[in-house]
Amino acid sequence: MQSLVDDIKQDVKSNCATYAGGGRCLLDRPCPFLSKDVKDGARCSYYENAVLPADDTLTLRYWSRFSKEATDKGSVKVCQSCNKVFTPKSNAEKYCGGCRDEVKRRQKSEQNKRYYRQNKPR
């Protein structure tokens, strides 16, 4: 099995529009993932926004490298419904923007059901 860094390298090579070949990047710096001393915590905002989201599995693995550190800082969270990584606006958020409404609706209808059950006439 390939390591995460190897998978990222492969993804960059085949899918990143700013990858210039030979470890270089069109954004006028070495590619953070393909430089010789690539670190586990290497990041590239272009890659994160434009390339990575196309691959769900890789997205999860990519962010899980940071999850402890990033979750501590509150900068990213993993959605408790769909497992996607999202950027919460507040510490209390547990779900991504796509799931939040859905989850709220579900919780509300659960509450309603409970309410009706408890208030059923005997």
Check binding of 59 to Zn ion (CB under 5 A).
no
Nearest by Cα to 56 from 26, 93, 85: 85
- Least spacing, CB of residue 82 vs Zn ion, in Å: 3
Stretch that binds Zn ion, among 19-27, 50-58, 65-73, 79-87 (CB under 5 A): 79-87
How many chain residues bind Zn ion (CB under 5 A)?
A: 5
- Residue 16 or 99: the one with the smaller Cβ distance to Zn ion is 99
Residue bearing tokens 């990519």: 62
78 forms part of the interface with Zn ion (CB under 5 A): no
Rounded Cα–Cα distance for residues 122 and 72 (Å):
50
Q: Counting contacts by CB under 5 A, is residue 96 touching Zn ion?
A: yes
Q: 63-99 burial, b for 16+ CB within 10 Å, e for fewer?
A: bebbeeebeeeeeebbbeeeebbbebeeeebebbeeb
Among the listed ranges 3-11, 48-56, 72-80, 106-114, the one in contact with Zn ion (CB under 5 A) is 72-80
Cβ closer to Zn ion: 21 or 98? 98
Q: Of 60, 70, 82, 103, which lies in the binding site for Zn ion, with binding defined by CB under 5 A?
A: 82
